[in-house]
């Protein structure tokens, strides 16, 4: 049997059978790339050569630190270049209008991939911004406690200390041994740290420090049984694991497009479960000129209390005031 052992001979063979004349395996669109990859699967090494060919890696260099920044394949950076060129060729509102559709389509696809609805997904700059939206956006006060995993990234760690210095709540950290016998051992450690004052549990799904994976679903259940908000930092899981956020049940989840997802640089996602969106104050308010602002939007203060039946009257203030209970819940997620 004839073995296809070089990329060129494989491609020549494929182009012949498929009737397509590919001069290079570095396809310019996913539509072109998908059939090439599908055809190459059975051909062993040629599949991986084809994959490798999509990345402009420096000769002899192999990127190993996917935790930080991943290279994007050609289909991504060519699309980015194409859209940037398009924008620079005509920066008018009329030309830019079409990006509204691109944006909504992206949100829809991300939501579908993560098993949630587009209204629950915000496209942001990165995981850092998404994490900070949560630790800056949830209304907390003196006496409240936030429980963190000790290996959390600084944006989900020291960032809480900064908010605590401002708002007077307390931050506790839980360490987990790097070898555990089962998930139950991890759950027990977190459970022991929760008190009736705990309002938020915020952890990294897979640690970029030790690589340990925390049981997201079980932690989520444990938090919710106590009316605690549960945030999951997914910088090391989105694009790496098959995920269904609705099944995991977290209240929010953050991720970066430029890590395992291998997308464009400086883009990220923040998922917030529909029921929780109104509890998160936005840190940046930027409606377009002439847009009708949702004037009933009152931010989130007290809403976490409401979720577990604790009244927020003790916070004082008028409904809608920065320290009062929400006068009215926001109808949709404007929290960025
Ligand atoms: C667990 C975790 N969270 C957050 C971040 C921050 O990601 P970014 O720099 O894309 O905002 C990282 C980056 O390595 C990370 O590993």
Q: How large is the average pLDDT for residues 9-14? A: 32
Domains of the chain, each with CATH number or no CATH = 1-58+67-96 (no CATH), 101-279 (3.40.640.10)
Residue nearest to atom 9 of ligand 1 (CA): 128
* CA–CA dist 90, 18 (Å, integer): 38
CA of 264 to the centre of ligand 1 (A): 15
- Residue 153 beta carbon below 6 angstroms from any ligand 1 atom: yes
According to DSSP, residue 196 is labeled T
Task: Give residue 313's pLDDT band: very low, low, confident or very high (50, 70, 90).
Answer: very low
Query: Best mutation site among 69, 124, 135, 153 for ligand 1, i.e. most ligand atoms within 8 A of its Cβ?
Result: 153
User: Is the CB of residue 204 below 6 angstroms from any atom belonging to ligand 1?
Assistant: yes
Query: Which atom of ligand 1 lies closest to the CA of 206?
Result: 1
Closest C-alpha among 120, 125, 128, 332 to residue 246: 120
E strands along the chain, which residues?
121-124, 145-149, 170-174, 198-204, 229-233, 252-256, 268-272
In the prediction, which pLDDT does 60 show?
Answer: 86
Cβ 68 under 6 angstroms from ligand 1 = yes
Alpha-carbon distance 67 to 236, whole Å?
6
Ligand 1, residue 68: give the atom nearest the CA.
Answer: 14
Cα–Cα dist 64/69, whole Å: 10
Strand partners, 170: 145
Q: Among 208-222, 254-268, 309-323, where is mean pLDDT lowest?
A: 309-323
Mean pLDDT (whole number) for 190-211: 97
Q: Report whether pLDDT(67) > 90.
A: no
CA distance 278 to 326: 9
Q: Return mean pLDDT, the chain.
A: 82
Question: From the alpha carbon of 130, which atom of ligand 1 is closest?
Answer: 11
Q: Following CA atoms 109, 111, 115, 117 in sequence, which dihedral angle do they give, to the nearest 10 degrees?
A: -130
Lowest mean pLDDT among 14-28, 51-65, 133-147, 258-272: 14-28
Side-by-side strand order, sheet with 229-233: 121-124, 268-272, 252-256, 229-233, 198-204, 145-149, 170-174
Is residue 297 within 6 Å of ligand 1 at its C-beta? no
- Rounded to an integer, what distance in angstroms lies between the CA atom of residue 239 and that of residue 234? 9
How long is the chain? 336
Q: How confident is the model at residue 327 (pLDDT cuts 50, 70, 90)?
A: very low
pLDDT for position 298: 53
Residue 136 beta carbon below 6 angstroms from any ligand 1 atom: no
| CB 132 near ligand 1, within 6 Å | no
* CA–CA separation, 305 and 289 (whole Å): 35
Nearest residue to 269 via CA among 253, 282, 289: 253
CA 74 – CA 257 distance, rounded (Å):
15
Alpha-carbon distance of 317 to 134, in angstroms, equals 22
* Cβ-contact 166, 187 below 8 angstroms: no
pLDDT surpasses 80 at 18: no
The rounded distance, in Å, linking the Cα atoms of 266 and 102 is 17
Decide which of 185 and 10 is more confident: 185
112-167 residue pLDDT tens: 999 999 999 999 999 999 999 999 999 999 999 999 999 999 999 999 999 999 99
Kindly give the distance from the C-alpha atom of residue 318 to the centroid of ligand 1, in angstroms, as a whole number. Answer: 38
Three-state DSSP at 253 gives: strand
Report the SS3 class of residue 208: coil
Distance, in Å, from the CA atom of 76 to the CA atom of 99, rounded to the nearest integer, reads 16
CA of residue 25 relative to chain centroid, distance: 31
Q: Of the given ranges (64-68, 173-177, 198-202, 204-208), which has the lowest mean pLDDT?
A: 64-68
């Amino acid at each position: 049997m004839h073995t296809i052992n070089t990329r060129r001979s494989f491609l020549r063979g494929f182009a012949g059978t498929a009737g397509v004349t590919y001069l290079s395996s570095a396809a310019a669109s996913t539509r072109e790339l998908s059939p090439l990859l599908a055809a190459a699967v059975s051909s062993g090494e040629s599949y991986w050569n084809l994959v490798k060919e999509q990345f402009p890696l420096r000769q002899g260099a192999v990127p190993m630190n996917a935790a930080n920044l991943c290279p994007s394949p050609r289909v991504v950076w060519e699309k980015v270049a194409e859209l940037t060129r398009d924008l620079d060729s005509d920066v008018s509102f009329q030309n830019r209008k079409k990006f509204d559709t691109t944006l909504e389509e992206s949100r829809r696809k991300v939501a579908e991939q993560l098993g949630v609805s587009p209204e629950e997904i915000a496209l942001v700059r990165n995981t850092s911004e998404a994490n900070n939206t949560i630790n800056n956006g949830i209304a907390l006060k003196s006496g409240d406690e936030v429980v963190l995993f000790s290996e959390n990234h600084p944006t989900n760690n020291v960032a809480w200390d900064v908010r605590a210095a401002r708002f007077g709540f307390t931050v506790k950290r839980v360490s987990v041994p790097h070898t555990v016998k089962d998930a139950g051992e991890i759950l027990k450690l977190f459970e022991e740290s929760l008190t009736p004052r705990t309002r938020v549990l915020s952890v990294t799904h897979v640690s970029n420090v030790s690589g340990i994976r925390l049981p997201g679903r079980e932690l989520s259940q444990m938090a919710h049984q106590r009316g605690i908000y549960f945030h999951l930092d997914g910088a090391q899981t989105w694009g790496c694991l098959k995920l269904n956020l609705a099944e995991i049940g977290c209240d929010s989840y953050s991720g970066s497009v430029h890590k395992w997802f291998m997308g464009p640089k400086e883009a990220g996602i923040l998922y917030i479960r529909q029921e929780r969106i109104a509890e998160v104050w936005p840190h940046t308010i930027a409606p377009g000129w002439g847009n009708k602002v949702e004037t009933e939007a009152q931010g989130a203060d007290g809403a976490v209390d409401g979720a577990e039946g604790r009244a927020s009257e003790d916070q004082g203030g008028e409904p809608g005031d920065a320290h009062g209970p929400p006068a009215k819940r926001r109808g949709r997620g404007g929290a960025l």
